[in-house]
Structure 1
Amino acid sequence: MSDLHTPAPADPALDAPPFRWRWLALVAVLTAEIMDLLDATVVAVAAPSIENEIGGGSTMIQWIAAGYTLAYAVGLVTGGRLGDRYGRRRVFLIGLVGFVATSALCGLAVSPAMLVTCRILQGLTGAVLIPQGFGIVKATFPPRELGAAFGSFGPAMGLAAVGGPILAGALIGWDVGGAGWRTVFLINVPIGLACLALAWRVLPESRSETALRLDPVGMLLVSAGLLLVIFPLVQGRELGWPWWTFALLAAAVPVLALFGRHQIRRVRAGRSPLVEPALLHNPAFRGGLVVGLVFFAGMTGLTLTIGLYLQIGLGYSPLRAGLALAPWAFGVAAGAALSGAVLANRFGRAVIQAGAVVMAVGMVGVIATLDLADGPVTGWQLAPALVVCGLGMGLLIAPFFDIVLAGVTLPMVGSASGVLNANQQLGASAGVAVLGTVFFQVAASGDFTGGMRAVLWSAAGAVLAAGALAVLLPRRARPET
C-alpha cells in the first residue's frame, strides 16, 4: 500500500493506470459533502427543541442557521484556492478535523451565544473542507470515469438536502441518551472520525503545478461582496425587509465589480488570481452558474417551507414530518440511479430538462393533493406526488455537475469549486428568503395551506426556468460520448 499518498497525475491519459483507491477516495469526499449539507438543513427541524432547552428567542435561533450559512458562503471562494496552493489532501484533512471538532462543540453548547459562535466556526471549517472535493476527484480519476465520479455529487447532495430534515426529526424523536436536539450535531463526530480515518488512508495529494500566491486583497473584496449579498437575504425575511437590506444588496454590486477588476489586473500582471477569469469564458461553467442559481433557489426554498408547513401548519412532530418527506428522498435516489446508470451519458442536458419537467409535475401533484384532501392532508396522501417530485430532482441533479465541470482543467478546479459552491449557496439563500417570505405572508392570516400552495407554484416556476436555461449548457459533458 505504499502508493496510498502518491500524488495523482495532473491530467491522466486515457490509457494511464488509474489511481488504485479512487473509489474509496470518492466515498470520503461524498461523506464530507453529505455531513455539510445535513448540517445546513437540520436546524429548521431542530430549532423549536433548541429554543425550548437553552432559550435565546426567535432572533437568536435564526442566527443558529444564519451564522453557518454566512460563514460558509463567504469562505468558499478562498477555501477552494487553499487546496490548489497547499495541497488538496492536506487542506481537506484540516477542514475535516475542524468540522468534526466544531460539530462536537455545537452539540455541547450550553447557551445560545455559544451555539451561534460554534455554528459560525463550523461554517468556516466547512468552507475549507468542501471545495477540495471536486479537485480531489479531478486529480484522482481518469477521464473515462470522471462522468460517473462527478455524476455522484448531484444525487448525494440532493439526498442530503431532502434527508436532512428526515434525519433531524428521527434523531430528536428517538432522543438517544436524552440528548434530544444535540444529536443532530453530535452525529457528525462518529461519522466524521470514520471519514477522517478513510481519507487519511486513501486520499492522494495533489496541488496546482503552477506556483500560486494567495491574494489577500481579493479575499477581502470577495468576502465583503458575498457578505453584502448573503446577510440581507438571510435576515431580510425575518426583519420584514427594512430599507437597509436593499441598500446592502445594492452596495454588493460595486464591491463585486471591483473584485472582478482586481482579478483581471492580477492576471495581466502575471500573478495568481483568486478566481480564474478564464472560468467565465467556459460556456459550460458559465451556463452552470445560471442554471444552478435558479434551480437551487427553487429546490432549497421548497425544502425549507414544506418542513415548516408540516410542523407549523399541520402540527406534525419532527419525526412525523421527517417520515412524511421520506418518499421524496426515495424518488431522488431512484431518479439519480436511472439518470446516472442509463440516461445521462446518452442524452446529456436533455435529462436535466426532462428532470425539471418531472419535478414540476410532482409539485403540481402536491398542489392537487392539498386541494382534494378531505381535511388535513396526511403523509400517505402526499407520498405519490413527492415520489414524482424526487424522481425529477434525481434525474436533473445527477448529470448537472458532470456537464458543468467536464471542461474545467485541473489548475482551475479549486477556483471553480469555490465559485460553484458559493453560487449554489447564494441561490439557496435567495430561495429561502423569497419563498419563505411568500409562505409567511400568505400564512399570516392562518392559511398555511394557501402559503404552501403559493410556494409550490413559485418553486415549480423556478425549476422549469432552470430547465429552460439548460440550453446554455453543452449537449453532453464529453462530445465523444
Structure 2
Amino acid sequence: MTDQLQAATTPVTARPPAAAVPLKPVALTTLIFGAFLPMLSFFVINVALPAIGSDLRATSGELQLVVGSYGIAVATLLVVGGRLGDTFGRKRLFLIGLIGFTVTSLICAIAPTIGVLLVARVVQGAAGAAVTPQVLATITSLLTGQHRARAMAMYGVAGGAAAAFGQILGGVLVEANVFDLGWRAVFLVNVPVGILGVAAAIRLIPETKAAKAQRVDLVGAALLALTLVMLLLPLTEGRPLGWPLWTWLCLAATIPAVVLLGVHQHRAERSGAAPLIPPTVLRLKAMRIGLLLAVAFFTTFGGFMMFVFALATQGEARMSPLEGGLSLLPMAVGFLITSIYGPRLQVRYGAGLIVRGWIIQGVGYAVLAAVALTLWPDVSPLKLAVPMLIAGFGSGLVMVPLMGVVLSQVPPAQAGLGSGILLTSQQTCLALGAATVGTAYLALAGTSWDQGGALAAVALAITAISLLMTPVTHQLRTSGKGA
C-alpha cells in the first residue's frame, strides 16, 4: 500500500495545514510501527504454513484460507476503516485496531484447531484494516511539504522492510522453536510489541478528524465480502473435496452477487452517497488499465510468494522454515531496494518504469523455472538467489510506481476514490492469488509433474503474464489524454 490511500481516507482535513498540530518524530515512528505490524503479519506467515498444516492437521485448502481470509478482511474493510476514522477520530480507530490486532494475534497463537485460527485471522485482518488508514490520514492531516513526503517515504520503506524481513523472521521463529512454540511464535511475537505500541500511541499520537466525514458504505462492503467468500471458498476447498455440488453453486452465485454489487454502487453514487467502488471512476481509461495491471500483478505475486514457494521448498526440496525464508530473502531485498529508490525513478521514467519492471520480473521467473527444472529437488537458498533477486527487483519496479502513475492520469477530484479502488483490488488479489494460483500449483503437484515441475509451470505462467502486460502498460503512458 502506498501514500495514495490518504486521499481515499481523508476527503477533508479537520484544519488547514497552517493550524496543524505538529507530528513529532517519536509520534510518527509510533504510527509507522503500528502500520508495520499488519504488513509484517501478511508476509511472516507463509514460511510457517507447512508447520501449521502438520500441527493442526490442516488441508492444503485450509492453509490457503489462512492467507486468503486475512487478505479479504483487509480488502473489504480498508476504505471503511478510513471513513470510520474520519468520523470518530483517527487516533481512536488506530488504538481500537491495534488493540484488536494484538488480541487476535494472541488468539491465533493459542488456536487449538484450524477453524479457530481461521476465524481469528479474519478478525485480525479487520483490525489491520482499522489501523492502516489512520496512519496515512494522520500524516496527511498534520504534515505538509517535505515533512509529509519524508513520512510517506518512511511508510513505503516500512512496507518493503516487512516483505524483506518477514520471511526471515518467520523462518527463525519456527526453526528456533523457543519454549516449544513452533509456528505459534509467529503470532505471539506481535503481542508484546502491540502492547508497547498501544501504550506509546495513547501518549504520543494527536487526535484528528475530518471536518465533513463521508457515510460508510457498509452494504457495499458486505456485498464485496460475500462475493469474495463465494469465490474463495470453492476455489480453495473444491480440489481437496473432489468438487462437490456446493462448490459449483457458489461459483455460479458469484455472477449475480457481482451484478447486485454493481447495481448497489450505481444507486449509491446517483443518490450522492460515497460508494465503495464508484462506477464513474471505473469508466476512466487510466483506471481500467491500472486495475488490469493490479489484478495481474497482485494475483500472481500473492499466489507465488505467499503460498506456492513455501510449500514447494519445504516439501520435496526438504528445506527447513529458516532455509525457506532465506530463499525468499533475495526477492524481498530486491523489493526493498525499489521501495527506497522507486519514487525517484518514477519521476524520471513514469509508466516506462513499470514496463521495465514487467520485463525484469519475467526474466527472473523464467530463470527460476529453469533452475527448478534442472536442479530440483537439489535446490538451496544460494542456488535460488539469482532468479529470486531478479524477480524481486522487477516486482518492485511494477508495484512501487503503479498507483502513482495511474492516479497521475486521473482527474484530481477523483484521485482519492481511485486510490481506494486500487488498494481494495490489491488486497483482494493478494488473497485470491493464494486460492487461484495455489490451486493450480496443487493440482499440478499431484500429477507426474511433482512439486518441482509445478513450481516451474507457475513461474513460466507468471513470465507469460508479465510479458503480456508490457503492451498494456504502454497504453497507460498515453491513456491520460483519452481518459
Q: TM-score range by the shorter chain?
A: 0.7 to 0.9
Structure-2 separation of matches of 1:153 and 1:178: 34
Cα deviations across residues 168-208 of structure 1 (Å, max 9, x unaligned)? 11111112233221110011123323433454455454444
Partner of 1:89: 91
Structure-2 separation of matches of 1:285 and 1:136: 26
Structure-2 separation of matches of 1:298 and 1:216: 29
Structure-2 separation of matches of 1:233 and 1:133: 34
| 1:454 CA drift (Å) | 0.2
Cα deviations across residues 397-421 of structure 1 (Å, max 9, x unaligned)? 22223334566869984x6565433
Query: Paired residue for 1:300, among 299, 302, 311?
Result: 302
Structure-2 separation of matches of 1:149 and 1:312: 41
Aligned residues: CA RMSD = 3.6
Partner of 2:322: 319
Partner of 2:379: 377
The residue type equivalent to 2:467 in the other structure is L
Instruction: Report the CA distance shift for 1:58/1:397 in structure 2 as closer, same or farther (over 3 A).
Output: closer
| 1:456 CA drift (Å) | 0.4
Within-5 A mapping of 1:162-173: 163-173=165-175
Structure-2 separation of matches of 1:231 and 1:214: 27
Instruction: Report the CA distance shift for 1:420/1:26 in structure 2 as closer, same or farther (over 3 A).
Output: farther
1:469 aligns with 2:472: yes
Structure-1 separation of matches of 2:404 and 2:397: 13
1:387 aligns with 2:393: no
Secondary structure in structure 2 of the residue aligned to 1:40: helix
Contact 1:171 1:180 in 2 (8 A): yes
| 1:285 CA drift (Å) | 4.5
Partner of 2:264: 262
Secondary structure in structure 2 of the residue aligned to 1:259: helix
| 1:306 CA drift (Å) | 1.6
Query: Paired residue for 1:460, among 450, 458, 463?
Result: 463
Partner of 2:121: 119
Contact 1:353 1:396 in 2 (8 A): yes
Instruction: Report the CA distance shift for 1:232/1:429 in structure 2 as closer, same or farther (over 3 A).
Output: farther
Partner of 1:402: 404
Structure-2 separation of matches of 1:418 and 1:229: 22
Q: How many positions carry a matched residue from both structures?
A: 468
Cα deviations across residues 279-300 of structure 1 (Å, max 9, x unaligned)? 4355554443322111011111
Cα deviations across residues 148-169 of structure 1 (Å, max 9, x unaligned)? 6556655544553464333211
1:251 aligns with 2:253: yes
Instruction: Report the CA distance shift for 1:391/1:52 in structure 2 as closer, same or farther (over 3 A).
Output: closer
- Judge which range, 223-232 or 467-476, deviates more: 467-476
Cα deviations across residues 259-278 of structure 1 (Å, max 9, x unaligned)? 33223323333444444445
| 1:322 CA drift (Å) | 1.1
Within-5 A mapping of 1:203-222: 203-222=205-224
| 1:453 CA drift (Å) | 0.7
The residue type equivalent to 1:129 in the other structure is V
Structure-2 separation of matches of 1:405 and 1:88: 25
| 1:145 CA drift (Å) | 6.5
The residue type equivalent to 2:262 in the other structure is G
Instruction: Report the CA distance shift for 1:353/1:104 in structure 2 as closer, same or farther (over 3 A).
Output: same
Secondary structure in structure 2 of the residue aligned to 1:314: coil
Within-5 A mapping of 1:112-151: 112-142=114-144, 150=152
Partner of 1:179: 181
Partner of 2:312: 309
Secondary structure in structure 1 of the residue aligned to 2:198: helix
In structure 2, runs of 5+ residues without a counterpart are: 1-9
Contact 1:439 1:452 in 2 (8 A): yes
Q: Percentage identity across aligned positions?
A: 33
In structure 1, runs of 5+ residues without a counterpart are: 1-6
Contact 2:91 2:205 in 1 (8 A): yes
Partner of 2:451: 448
Structure-1 separation of matches of 2:401 and 2:303: 22
Contact 2:354 2:473 in 1 (8 A): yes
The residue type equivalent to 2:332 in the other structure is A
1:333 aligns with 2:336: yes
Structure-1 separation of matches of 2:182 and 2:419: 35
Contact 1:170 1:318 in 2 (8 A): yes
| 1:56 CA drift (Å) | 5.7
| 1:223 CA drift (Å) | 3.1
- Judge which range, 97-106 or 115-124, deviates more: 115-124
Cα deviations across residues 243-262 of structure 1 (Å, max 9, x unaligned)? 54344233223323323322
Partner of 2:365: 363
Secondary structure in structure 1 of the residue aligned to 2:379: coil
